[in-house]
């Protein structure tokens, strides 16, 4: 077994030991409190529940404002006959008009207002459930400080816009204004 000084200089090891002594251990992650959050959809994918294998399309949200910034939560859009009306309602808000569109990425930086509630499963485990969400718009991507400066030449930005066209069919995110109650179905 190695020593700390094998990977750090002695002075760095001493500094780290001091920081260790002064640092309080972080709390375990727990579900976010009930409430309304502004979040980006940062990922979406086809999944299935580990218990029964129920198919779903899962949205990953990342909080972008407030004290819980950078925390993530998930919303399952269940792909079953019973849940399909709710799933279709939710996906229409994202501009998805057909299931085939889900095989392409959603537009990046989709900003949503999401109502979350804490729930408890049969084993007593707490989790977050998306009660409803509303798409507020699509934010421009953050600029990379180290990216080359735009000199006015065409950089292929039209091609990047074409990625969204795969989702909406016209290169724009078509957003439904209504924020209906969203239930992600059972935790199958």
* pLDDT tens per residue across span 75-98: 999 999 999 999 999 999 999 999
Q: How many domains does the chain have?
A: 1
144-158, pLDDT tens digit by residue?
A: 888 887 665 544 444
Range of the domain at 39: 29-142+155-168
179 lies in some domain: no
Does residue 132 lie in a domain region?
yes
Rounded to whole angstroms, the Cα distance separating 127 from 130 reads 10
Which CATH number does the domain housing residue 54 bear?
A: 2.40.50.140
Whether residue 63 lies inside any domain: the answer is yes
Q: Tell whether 162 is covered by a domain.
A: yes
Asked if 41 and 111 count as a contact pair (C-beta separation under 8 A), the reply is no
Is the per-residue pLDDT at 121 higher than 80?
Answer: yes
Task: Identify the DSSP state of 140.
Answer: P
Residue 56 to residue 83: CA distance in whole angstroms: 10
Position 142 confidence tier, pLDDT thresholds 50, 70, 90 = confident
Q: What is the pLDDT of residues 49-75, one digit of tens each?
A: 998 999 999 999 999 999 999 999 999
Residue 1, Cβ density class (10 Å: 0-12 exposed, 13-18 middle, ≥19 buried): exposed
161 Cβ neighbours under 8 A, 6+ residues apart: 171
Q: Across all residues in the chain, what is the average pLDDT? A: 82
Whether residue 188 lies inside any domain: the answer is: no
> Which residues does 2 contact at the CB level (< 8 Å), separation at least 6?
none
CA dihedral 123, 127, 130, 131 (to 10 degrees): 60
Global pTM exceeds 0.95: no
Question: Quick check: is 149 in a domain?
Answer: no
Give 111's contacts (C-beta < 8 A, 6+ positions apart): 38, 39, 40, 64, 135, 136, 137, 138, 139
């Amino acid at each position: 077994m190695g020593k700390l000084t094998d990977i750090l200089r002695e002075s760095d090891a001493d500094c780290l030991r001091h920081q260790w002594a002064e640092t309080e251990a972080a709390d375990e992650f727990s579900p976010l409190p009930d409430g309304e959050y502004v979040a980006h959809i940062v990922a979406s994918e086809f999944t299935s529940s580990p218990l029964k294998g129920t198919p779903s399309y899962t949205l990953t949200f990342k909080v972008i404002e407030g004290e819980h910034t950078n925390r993530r939560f998930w919303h399952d859009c269940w792909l079953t006959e019973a849940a399909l009306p709710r799933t279709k309602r939710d996906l229409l808000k994202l501009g998805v008009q057909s299931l085939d569109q889900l095989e392409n990425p959603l537009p990046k930086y989709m900003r949503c207002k999401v109502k979350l509630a804490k729930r408890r499963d049969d084993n007593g485990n707490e989790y977050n459930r998306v009660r409803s969400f509303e798409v507020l718009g699509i934010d421009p991507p953050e600029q990379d400080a180290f990216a080359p400066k735009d000199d006015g030449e065409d950089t292929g930005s039209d091609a990047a816009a074409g990625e969204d066209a795969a989702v909406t069919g016209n290169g724009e995110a078509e957003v439904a204004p209504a924020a209906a109650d969203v239930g992600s179905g059972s935790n199958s």
